[in-house]
Chain A
Amino acid sequence: MTRTEPNRSRSSNSDSEKNSGNGGGGRTTAMRVIVPLQGVVQGRGGLFLGSVIPCAFFYFLQFYLKRNRKNDESDNSGEQNSSASSSSSPNSGLPDPTRSQSAGHLTELTGLPRSLSRILLSPRNSGGAVSVSGRVNCVLKGGDSSPYYVGQKRVEEDPYDELGNPDGVIQLGLSQNIKLSFDDWVLENAKEAISDGLSISGIASYEPSDGLLELKMAVAGFMSEATKNSVSFDPSQLVLTSGASSAIEILSFCLADSGNAFLVPTPCSPGYDGDVKWRTGVDIIHVPCRSADNFNMSMVVLDRAFYQAKKRGVRIRGIIISNPSNPMGSLLSRENLYALLDFARERNIHIISNEIFAGSVHGEEGEFVSMAEIVDTEENIDRERVHIVYDLSKDLSFPGLRSAAIYSFNESVLSASRKLTTLSPVSSPTQHLLISAISNPKNVQRLVKTNRQRLQSIYMELVKGLKELGIECTKSNGGFYCWADMRGLISSYSEKGEIELWNKLLNIGKINVIPGSCCHCIEPGWFRICFSNLSERDVPVVMNRIRKVCQTCKSQN
């Protein structure tokens, strides 16, 4: 745009020459600009005006660009500026977040030295409403209208209950695993764990926020068990956090600076947007995978995404994968993982491997390979780029416990994360509960086995039912979801069509599923169905409801 400027001045030059040739009068507004130019052409005041005018043009262009940029950025001092004129502050707050989502990549500019002159000049503005920080706007407005939250809300208002509320909305959107593991045995065990684990001296005092060594050892043992003892985990490389969200947030903070980005193959977990972007200012670059490849990521596409980002000046610091994948439930093969490591090595970036469903692998075929196993034999230099997120509450069917772990080979990341866990700590009662729940290897084995069997049977049931309705699912081997292809049911092959169908499923079928658009899937018509919370009796109910929706769809078509 800087290049066009001389051109423009040149064209105005020729304009003015024309005008001066005509000897036209200076009565229109355009003439006001041209008159001095005329003077320039005629040799009067040449240097001064000739330079002042383009400079002025430039200045205004600058000014214009700068103001636009502020808005996109959605925040920062702009917000306070607007509060200077107090009445306008709520209005100016509104358009920001809508734009900020699309312009999330502009967050790199947050570090700009901002001119504060306007605030400084503004008189004492007493009585104005005090404004919140600009960056919190995207948290406030972000996602409220997304189907993910809308669906969750509907379930909260009107939850299905076999006896109490048979017409309620069935929750197939939230990944919890309550009904599965809570048979009598687990229940008994939990009771015991609680009474054993809790004594006042243990739970009330200050304890390391990154986890007691005892717990870390138990967790390492549990992780080994979940990966079928193919790799042993070192307790000293574990950092415990309150939930997988904070684990991912802490890693984002440690691995990338504000304005950097992570590559994320899509479809991906809908939670990443909040986990990665909200507070750390790190951006996500989605790398689309397609149904034609069975949603496997290809290194070529990753490569392309990497270079496109680089061209735009965005620095990629890592890649986030989930294995078993969320939402498809597929497992990454050994070859895939090696290819990924090669890719990361060549680009010198980090790998965050989200293995929160490692203990919930239920498929017969395919073997779950932890990233830890892949790098186990590698040199240090490669191990340092691998970070694993592990969720205890998912596999233990205890989401209310909110505890997860970061397993990293990188000393700096570990020591930074340890300190950051004071900001999202695991409370001592939770730690003691977990210790007594998982330190006995026999219990752990049995828990993992029971969990697997139950997931498997309910998955088979659901997939069979869907197939009868003509809905295919991708092959899933792990996790709580199946990824259902409902492209046949959508009225138009677009995101709009998908949301329409989602609305029908929610309002007519009364089931809450997650549409593919929430998972950033680029192909419309896919839905994530979480089955872990269903009992076998619920499956026919779900099928009937989906059938009803199918019929309304067909009758419309």
Chain B
Amino acid sequence: MRLIVPLRGVIQGRGGLFVGSLIPCCLFYFLQLYLKRRRPPPSDPTELPRTSSRTNLFSRGNSIGRVRVSSRAVPVAKPSDSPYYIGLERVKTDPYDRIKNTDGIIQLGLAESTLCFDLLQRWMSENLMESMMQSDDGEFNISSIAMYKPFEGLLELRVAFADFMSRIMGGNVSFDPSNMVITAGGTPAIEVLAFCLADHGNAFLIPTPYYPGFDRDIKFRTGVELIPVHCRSSDNFTVTVSALEQALNQARKRGSKVSGILFSNPSNPVGNILPRETLQDILRFAQEKNIHVISDEIFAGSVYGDKEFVSMAEIAGLGEVDKSRVHIIYGLSKDLSIPGFRAGVIYSFHEDVVNAAKKLMRFSSVPVPVQRILISLLSDVRFIEEYMTAHRQRIRDKHIRFVEGLKQLGIPCAESGGGLYCWVDMSSLLTSYSEKGELDLFEKLLTVAKINATPGTACYCIEPGWFRCCFTALADEDIPVIMERIRQLRESSRS
């Protein structure tokens, strides 16, 4: 009644203006106050922001709470619940060894290749010392490797990288070293791009199934969301523009701003190669929606099928659209099988992105000694040619063996033409056609059959029963062991 009484006065014409304006003002003021108070904890509502005042009341020493870490570090510190990381951790505790630990877990979860280590070994033993100590006048000079150098990478390295990339991509496209920033691996490259292209709370569209590591690389620190665009086995998991369009519209309806599309080509985990038309469609779509395109081409040199690999750089170079929206990630971890070197590259047509990335490389640059080795490695054209031929041939052979083995068990794989893995349809082994059934099978594979394969759930695949199996770290004699283990698992579950 207290509120209404003055209002009545207003209606009756007494003190109309003053009270009539004061009341809404007050209401507004309190609304403001309310909104303002609700604002401060933007990232994590579970943590109350105002604790310092409380601790100040206490005398020193006793009963002060433990010092807190930031709320955004809490989820990072927690052990991951993604089957991808669980599997990797489990292998570490009990790794398979042909002689010493024949009962150990066989690693099919990590995309690394040991197929061409003999070639690398030979090169390194011949050239390692010289490459590292080389200086311009040919004399041993330690300051050439110890000094601070430009963070974005030595120009020589960028030139060598550009040549190498264009070589493995079939020579149809040339890369400009000035658009290139050398990073300490593909992981920092993706994070830096995410930071540069999207603000906290923005999102990237990403066709599923996708590489489970993206979650960490992108979400951990940049606060950029990933919006899955579901692809289906009926299209062999190739993304379509209508699916992109639908996902974009839904995202916008929910109020999140989409800054770009991220995809890998050859795709990880499926291993299929995006056809030229699809790439064109994606780029046109991005142009129409004014968003970025990030193409992760880290497996570009590990193509073994008949299909031709087309780089997004080639499509962008056609001049049909504004190419400043195209950014490419590449690295040597997979194609040259040197993940320990942590060498990656951001190739962007956007000047600002290149400049910002250069500056951000103070956080993840490649050490100069490593750069020196890479320069000689990448500029040794004869070795690179020999290596790439062997690399492709050996993956092809291994792929045929592995897929053949699965086929004999009646387990089909998706059609693939690149990458160090295949995408296996184990839905016939599922007890129930659901995510739970898939995770059960993952657990059984891990504990009973002792195989660590990455389940589709970890890759956000909507169809249950798919697993990513990396076969390039296997020896030929390991394949029958794996097949036997899967066969036994199937039989034990049937009986």
Assess whether B55 is interfacial by the CB under 8 Å rule.
Answer: yes
Given contacts A133-B198, A425-B342, contact A13 B17 (CB under 8 A): yes
- Which chain B residues border A296 with CB–CB below 8 Å? none
B216→A419 contact, CB < 8 A: yes
Within 8 A of B (CB), among A147-184: 174, 176, 178, 182
Closest 10 CB pairs of A and B: A111-B42, A50-B20, A46-B16, A428-B340, A400-B368, A43-B13, A416-B77, A254-B73, A424-B364, A385-B67
Q: Are A50 and B21 in contact (CB under 8 A)?
A: yes
Give CA–CA (A473, B482) in the complex, Å: 71
Q: Collect the chain A residues with CB atoms within 8 Å of residue B148's CB.
A: 174, 176, 399-400
A258 on the interface (CB 8 Å rule)?
yes
Interface residues of B in 62-116 (CB under 8 A from A): 64-67, 69-74, 76-77, 110, 112, 114
Contact (Cβ within 8 A) A77 B257? yes
Q: Which of B52, B124, B220, B290 has the most CB of A within 10 A?
A: B290
**Residue A354 at the B interface, CB < 8 A?**
no
Can you report 25 residue pairs joining A to B where beta carbons are below 8 Å apart? A13-B18, A13-B21, A46-B16, A51-B20, A53-B21, A80-B259, A112-B39, A135-B199, A182-B146, A190-B142, A200-B120, A204-B117, A204-B339, A242-B184, A246-B364, A274-B362, A346-B55, A384-B66, A384-B67, A385-B67, A422-B187, A423-B220, A427-B343, A427-B366, A430-B369
Contact B360 A139 (CB under 8 A): yes
Indicate whether A58 sits within 8 Å of B28 (C-beta atoms), given known contacts A402-B367, A427-B341. Answer: yes
Determine the residue in chain A with the shortest Cβ distance to B60.
Answer: A346
Contact A400 B369 (CB under 8 A): yes
A residues within 8 A CB of B110?
206
Q: Which of B112, B200, B369 contacts A258 (CB 8 A)?
A: B200
At the interface, yes or no: B191 with Cβ under 8 Å from chain A? Answer: yes
User: Known: A133-B196, A254-B69, A416-B77. Contact between A5 and B216, CB under 8 A?
Assistant: no
Residue A472 lies at the interface, judged by CB distance under 8 Å to chain B:
no
User: Does A214 touch B at the CB level, under 8 Å?
Assistant: no
CB contacts (< 8 Å) of A125 on chain B: these are: 290
Q: A47-B7, A54-B21 are in contact. Are A246 and B363 (CB under 8 A)?
A: yes
Q: Is A205 an interface residue (CB 8 A)?
A: yes
Q: How far is the CB of A298 from chain B (nearest CB, A)?
A: 18
Of A204, A249, A345, A429, which contacts B337 at CB under 8 A?
Answer: A204
Q: Is the interface of B mostly helix, strand, loop or mixed?
A: helix
Q: Tell yes or no: A106 within 8 A of B by CB.
A: no
From B161-169, B351-359, B432-440, give the one contacting chain A. B351-359
CB distance from A427 to the nearest CB of B (A): 4
Say if the beta carbon of A464 comes within 8 Å of chain B.
no
Residues of chain B contacted by A75 (CB below 8 angstroms): 199
Residue A342 interfacial (CB < 8 Å): yes
Give Cα A178–Cα B145 distance, bound, in whole angstroms: 10
Which of A111, A200, A413, A429 is close to B121, meaning CB atoms less than 8 Å apart?
A200
Q: How far is the CA of A384 from the CA of B287 in the complex (A)?
A: 50
Is the CB–CB distance between A243 and B325 below 8 Å? no
Is B322 interfacial (CB-CB < 8 Å)? Answer: yes
B: residues with CB less than 8 A from A are 7, 10-11, 13, 16-25, 28-29, 32, 39-40, 42-44, 49, 51-53, 55-56, 60-61, 64-67, 69-74, 76-77, 110, 112, 114, 117, 120-121, 124-125, 128-129, 132-133, 140, 142-143, 145-149, 184-185, 187-188, 191, 195-202, 216-217, 220-222, 252, 255-257, 259, 287-292, 322, 324-325, 337-343, 350, 352-353, 355-356, 359-360, 362-370, 373
Chain B residues with CB under 8 A of A397: 146
Query: Which residues on the B side are within 8 Å of A254 (C-beta)?
Result: 69-70, 73, 76-77
Q: How far is the CA of A9 from the CA of B112 in the complex (A)?
A: 72
Judge whether B76 and A132 touch: CB under 8 Å. Answer: no
Q: A399-B148, A401-B369, A427-B184 are in contact. Are A46 and B199 (CB under 8 A)?
A: no
Which residues of chain A are near B199, meaning CB under 8 Å?
Answer: 75-77, 79, 110, 133-135
Q: How far is the CA of A242 from the CA of B199 in the complex (A)?
A: 25
Interface set, chain A 195-212, CB cutoff 8 A to B: 195, 198-207
Q: Across the interface, which residues of B come within 8 angstroms of A385, CB to CB?
A: 67
Complex-state Cα separation, A415 to B79, whole angstroms = 9
Cβ-closest chain B residue relative to A430: B367
Closest residue of B by beta carbon distance from A126: B288
Chain B residues near A425: list those with CB within 8 A: 184-185, 187-188, 342, 364
Contacts of B292 in A (CB 8 A): 130
**Chain B proximity of A467: nearest CB distance (Å):** 30
Min CB distance, A186 to chain B, in Å?
8
- Please provide the chain A residues from 39 to 71 with a CB less than 8 Å away from any CB of chain B in the complex: 40-41, 43, 46-47, 49-51, 53-55, 58
Among the stretches A310-318, A445-453, A482-490, the one at the interface with B is A310-318
Nearest residue, chain A, Cβ from B55: A348
* Chain A residues with CB below 8 A from B222, complex form: 279
The distance in angstroms between the C-alpha atoms of A317 and B53, with both chains bound, is: 13
Q: Which B residues lie within 8 Å of A205 (CB)?
A: 112, 114, 339-340
Q: Mask for A239-262, Cβ within 8 A of B = 1, else 0?
A: 000110110010001111111100
**A313–B362 CA distance with the chains assembled, in angstroms:** 31
- Asked whether A424 lies within 8 Å of B355 as measured between CB atoms, the reply is no
Contact A253-B70, Cβ < 8 Å, known A136-B352, A204-B341, A400-B147? yes
* A5, A420, A427: most-surrounded residue (chain B CB, <10 A): A427
Interchain CA distance A178-B352 in the complex, whole Å = 33
Q: How long is the Cα–Cα vector from A11 to B344 in the complex, in angstroms?
A: 66
B25 to chain A, nearest CB (A): 5
Query: Does A442 lie at the interface of the complex (its beta carbon under 8 Å from any beta carbon of B)?
Result: no
A522 within 8 A of B: no
Task: Enumerate chain B residues within 8 angstroms of A55, measured Cβ to Cβ.
Answer: 24, 28
Contact status B340-A182, CB under 8 Å: no
* CB of A6 within 8 Å of the partner chain: yes
> A216 contacts which chain B residues (CB < 8 A)?
none
A129 to B289, CA, bound (A): 11
**Closest Cβ of chain A: how far from B84's Cβ, in Å?**
13
Known contacts A50-B10, A133-B199: does B16 contact A200 (CB below 8 Å)? no
Q: Hey, which chain B residues are within 8 Å of A243, CB to CB?
A: 362-363, 365
Which B residue sits closest to A43, measured CB to CB?
B13
> Are B146 and A416 in contact (CB-based, < 8 A)?
no
Query: For window 76-120 of chain A, which residues contact chain B by CB distance below 8 Å?
Result: 76-77, 79-80, 83, 110-112, 114, 116, 119-120
**How near does chain A come to B164, taking the closest CB pair, in angstroms?**
17
**Cα distance, A54 to B28, chains bound together (Å):** 10
CB distance from B62 to the nearest CB of A (A): 10
State the Cβ distance, A146 to closest chain B Cβ, in Å. Answer: 13
A205-B340, A419-B76, A422-B216 known; A342 and B69 CB under 8 Å?
no
Q: Take A203-B340, A423-B191 as given contacts and tell me if A349 and B67 are in contact as well, using a CB distance cutoff of 8 Å.
A: yes
Assembly CA distance A386 to B77 (angstroms): 17
Please judge, given known A-B contacts A125-B290, A348-B64, A400-B146, whether A37 and B56 are in contact too, CB under 8 Å.
Answer: no
User: Is residue A295 contacting chain B, with contact meaning CB distance below 8 A?
Assistant: no
Contact pick for A433, options B252, B364, B369, CB 8 Å: B369
A204 touches B11 (CB 8 A): no
Task: Output the nearest chain A residue to B143 by Cβ-Cβ distance.
Answer: A178
Supposing A5-B25, A125-B290 touch, asked if A257 and B146 sit within 8 A by C-beta, the answer is: no
Q: For residue A10, which residues in chain B have a CB less than 8 angstroms away from its CB?
A: 18
> CA–CA, A22 to B123, complex, Å?
99
Q: With contacts A204-B338, A347-B52 known, is A9 near B221, CB below 8 A?
A: no
Q: Which residues of the other chain, B, contact A202 by a CB distance below 8 angstroms? A: 340
Q: Which residues of A contact B368 (CB under 8 A)?
A: 400-401
Do A2 and B195 touch across chains, with their CB atoms under 8 A apart? no
Q: Mark A191-234, 1 if CB is under 8 A from B, else 0.
A: 10011001111111111000000000000000000000000000
A74 CA to B325 CA, complexed, in Å = 21
B345 to chain A, nearest CB (A): 15
Contact between chains at A257 and B220 (CB < 8 Å): no
Smallest CB separation, B277 vs chain A (Å): 20
A351–B352 CA distance with the chains assembled, in angstroms: 35
Partner of A133, one of B10, B72, B124, B259: B259
Contact A427 B342 (CB under 8 A): yes
